[in-house]
Amino acid sequence: MLIGIGGISRAGKTTLAENMTKALKKMKKSVEVFCQDDFVKPKHALTKIEGVPDWERPNTVKWDSLISKVEKSTADVVIVEGLFSFYPASIRSLYDKKLFLEIDENTFQNRKSADKRWTEEPGWYARHVWRSYNKYGKTKGNKEEYIFLDGSQPIDVKKLLETLMA
């Protein structure tokens, strides 16, 4: 089973993937998770916006490499998570299940300002991320194929997996 998890930065994609992995392993399933961020082009190859590398575009991802790894996986469950998980039709068509974490702009801004994983970002950059999400990161294709989840609330992974495995 191939599961795509999308949503804006700080919506809980990685946390959901980690929690699903733990639960699936308890069910004796092999799991492999691919994070879109692990497939970005080198910093020097990225377009800059106001002198800052612009990570917020689908063309920053080495899609061929990501898709190749996904297709070669022998795990029972493969999870792909990232802001642009549903952008290219070439990967979107592979998913068996599509999960989309939604948070509102205020929640995003609050979480993003508290995020200290990266070097200090200019204040305008979070607004740029939100605009890029609205342009590139939303669901693509048939909306009925998605399971929408509230990323501002805890997710019952056991219940979610029961739905996915049914």
pLDDT, averaged in runs of 10, over the chain (166 residues)? 94 96 97 96 90 88 96 98 91 95 91 70 80 87 92 96 92
Q: Which pLDDT score, from 0 to 100, does residue 136 have?
A: 87
In a domain, 28, yes or no: yes
Q: What's the structural domain count of the chain?
A: 1
The enclosing domain of 140 has a CATH number of 3.40.50.300
Report pTM. 0.91
Q: Which pLDDT score, from 0 to 100, does residue 125 have?
A: 81
Residue 3, φ and ψ in degrees, nearest 5: -115, 130
Q: Which pLDDT score, from 0 to 100, does residue 121 have?
A: 66
User: Quick one: 54 exposed, middle or buried, by C-beta within 10 A (0-12, 13-18, 19+)?
Assistant: middle
Q: What is the DSSP letter of 146?
A: E
In a domain, 148, yes or no: yes
Q: Which pLDDT score, from 0 to 100, does residue 119 have?
A: 63
In a domain, 31, yes or no: yes
Print the domain residue range for 79.
Answer: 2-161
In a domain, 166, yes or no: no
In a domain, 113, yes or no: yes
In a domain, 30, yes or no: yes
Nearest one of 5, 14, 17, 8 to 107, comparing CA atoms: 8
The first and second tokens of residue 47, run together, are 């377009």
- Who's near 116: CB < 8 A, 6+ residues apart? none
Q: Which pLDDT score, from 0 to 100, does residue 118 have?
A: 59
In a domain, 66, yes or no: yes
In a domain, 82, yes or no: yes
